[in-house]
Structure 1
Amino acid sequence: MSEAALREFRAQAREWLHANSTPLPRTDSAEAAWGTGSDDVSVFHNLSHDDERALLDRLRQWQRRKFEAGYGALEWPEEFGGRGLPPEFEEAFAEEERAFDTGGMHELLSVTVRLIAPTIRLLGTAEQRQRFIGPLLSGAELACQLFSEPGAGSDLAALGTRAVRDGDAWIVNGQKVWTSGAQFAQWGELIARTDPDVPKHQGMTAFLVPLELPGIRVRPLRQMSGGTSFNEVFFDDVRIPDSLRLGEVGHGWQAALTTLGFERGASSANTGVGGSCAQAMALARHTGADRDPLLRRKLAEVIIADRLADIARARDEQAQRNGEPLGALGSIRKMQWVRRMSGISEFVTAALGPRLVVDSGEWGTYAWGQHVLGAPGYRIAGGSDEIQRNIIAERWLGLPPEPRADRGTAWRDLPR
C-alpha cells in the first residue's frame, strides 16, 4: 500500500486511541520523567492473585475493544476478524499505541495472541480455527503453553507426560512446570508423549486442553522476585477428546517448534519488559552516576545497546515487509534483548548500591530490585541461552550439529 494510505491509517488510529484511551504524559527527556507516575520496572509481575487477575481483565477488555474496532489483528485475514493489512500497519499502530495508557502488559495475553492463535491457524483443523482463533485474538479466552517439565526444559524433546489413546479420546498423565499464567488460562497447548517406542523427537503429539477438565491441578510457584507468574500443572487421568488434537499424531515436535518460532519472534520485538534505557538514564541523573567516570562507561554501554536495538528492529521490520522469515535471526535478537536487560541490571546495581536492597520509600530506587531479580529468568524463558547458541551455530553459521548419543534410540530406552 502507498505511503498516503499508511499516513491516513495512522491518523485514524490516533483518533480512535484518543477516543478510547488516555494519552501518556509527554516528556522531552528521561530527566523530565523522573519522579512521575509509576516506578514499576519489574520483569515478572509481583502481584497478589486478585490484583493479577484484575490486571488481566483490564488488558482483555482493551484487547477486545481493539479487536472489535479492527485494530486487534491487523495482519490477519478478514475471515479471522483481521484486516489483511501489511506488517507496516501493525508496526504503525503499535507505535501510536505506545503513546497511550492501555493498562500495561501480561505474558499470558501475549502468549495467547502471538503464539497460540498463530499456531492454531497453521496447524489446526477448519473446525479448530473456527472455534479458537476469534476468542483468542479478542482476549475472550486465554491459552498457555504446556511444554516444559521438571526433567525436560532445554531438552524439551525428552518430555515424559504421557497421552494414551482410548477410543476417541486420550488419557493424559504427567506434570508440566514453569507454565506462565496457567492459573488464569482457560486453555493450554499441550505437548505429550504418545509413542515411547520411537526416538524422542518422533513420539510426541500436540493437544488443545481445557484447563477445567477433571484431573488437572494448577499450583503457582513463588519466584524470587516475589510473584507467582509460573506454575506447576499436574495431569491425573485427564481425558482429552481426539477432536482437540492439534496436528497429526506423532507431529508434536513440529507443533512445539512452530510455537517456539513465534515466541522467538515475539521476544525479539519485545520493548516493554523491565526497565528501559530512558529510565536508566533518568536514574543516572538522579543519583549522579552520570558524573562518575566508571558508571558513565556502563551507562554508555546501555545506551549504545539500545540504539543498536533500534537499528536491528528497523532492519527486521524491513525484512518482514519483504517477506523474509526471521528464522535463526530470532535467536540472535532474543539473546541481544536479554543482554540489554542484563546490562541495565549491571548499571543500576552499581549506581544504586545499598538503595537497591533497602526500601526507604524513595521513588525509583528500591523498585529496580524487581528488574535485577527478574532479568536472569529470560536467559531460560523462551529457550535457554545454550539452546539459542546451538540454533545460531547450526542454522545461521552452518556449523555441524552437536553430537547426540540418543540419536535413533527409542525414548523408552533413554537413561533417566
Structure 2
Amino acid sequence: MKTNLRAGSQSATTFTRFMRSLGADRARRSLIGILLALLFLGAWVAWLFLARVTVYEVTESARIEAEGAGYTVESAVAGRVVSTQLKLGREVKAGDALAELDTDEQRMKLEEERTRLRSIGPQIDAIAGEVAAEERALENARRASVVALEEARSRVGEAEVAAQFAAEEARRLGELFAQGYVAELVILKARSDAKGRRAAVESLKLNASRMERDQQTVESERRVRIEKLLRERRELEAARASSASAVERLQGEIERRTIRSPVSGQLGEVTTSKEGAVVGAGDKLGTVVPAAGGLRIIAEFPASALGRVREGQGARMRLTSFPWTQYGSLAARVTRVAGELRDGKIRVELAVEMPEGSPLTIQHGLPGSIEVEVERVAPATLLLRAVKILTRPSASSDANRGGDG
C-alpha cells in the first residue's frame, strides 16, 4: 500500500515538473517570436526609410537615328516617276540623281519659249535700225527746212526792200505830179508797181510761214513714227524678258523634277522605287542616312517627364527587334532635353553607350522603349506618393459633396 502511494506521489511530481517545463518553453518561444517580429519590423522600417529605390521614366516611343538625323528624300512637285535609282542600302553622294519625273510637257513648253525668244531678238534689232533711220531722216529734214526757211526769209527781205523803194518812188512821183512835172500815167504806173511789190512781200511772208508749218508737221509725223517704233521695241523687250523668265522657270521646273540626294550617305529607307508610280508634291520617297557621324536615340516622353528628365541621366533602351531577355538592353545617357512641349510630348536625345562585344547590332531606324533613371528615393516616399494619388479622387469628391451641402 505504501508502495502504491509512493509511486503515485512520484508520478504527480513528474507531471508537475513536465507542465512547468512546458510552460517555460512556451514563454521562451513567445519571447523569441516577439523578438523576431520586432527585429523583422525594425528591419522593414529601416528598409522603408533608409533603402533607395530607382525611379524610371518610361516611354515606348523611341528610335535610333544617325547623328544629324536622316535626310528625307521627297518630291518637290507632283508627277509620274519615269526613272529611279532608289535602292535600299545604296551608297549615294550629295547631288546624285535618285529619281526623275515625267518632263515631256515642260520640255515642249521650254522649246516653244526658246523659239519665241530667238525670234524676238532680230525683231528688236530691225526696229532699232528703223528708229535710227527715222531719226537721221528727221535731222536731215530739219536741217533742209532750216536752210529753205532762211532762204525764204531772205527773199522776203529783198522783196521788202524793193517794195519800200517802189513806195518811195511812187510818193516822189506823186509830189512831182502835183507840181505838174510828170504825167498822170507815170504816177499811176508807179503806184501800181509799189502795190505789186508789196503784194509780193506778203506772198513771200505767207510762203515762209507755210514752209515753217510744213516743217513742224513733218517733224511731228516723224516723231510719232519714232515713238511708235520705240513703243513696239519696248513691247518686244518686255516679251523677251517674259520669255527669258519663262525659260528659266521651265528649266527650274525640269530640274525640280530630278530628285537628288541632299547629302552623301546611304539609303536607309525607300518608300517609292517603281517606275510609273505617281507621286504628289511633298511625298516622301526615301531617307538618306549621312555617311559621317555616329548614332543617337530620339525619344518622346509624356508631358509629366518635363523637369524630371535631365541631361546626364543614365538610361537603358530595349530594342523591339532584339528580345531583351536574350540580347539584353542598350546603355544610353541623356544629352539633350527640349525646353518646351510639342503635341503634348517632350523630345529627348540620348547618346548610345555601346559596350565592346555586345551581341546587339544597331542601325538607323531601329525602334524600342527607353527607361531613364530620374531619381533614387526611399520606399516610404513612394508609398506616400501612392497614398496621395489614391486619396486625391476621394478628397475631390468630399469637396464636391461639401459644396453640394
Do Structure 1 and Structure 2 share a fold, with TM-score over 0.5? no
The structure richer in helix per residue is: 2
TM class, shorter-length: under 0.3
The structure richer in strand per residue is: 2
Q: Taking structure 2 as the reference length, what is the TM-score of the superposition?
A: 0.17
Larger RCO (CA within 8 A; separation ≥ 6) = 2
Q: Taking structure 1 as the reference length, what is the TM-score of the superposition?
A: 0.16
Report the structure number with the largest CA radius of gyration.
2
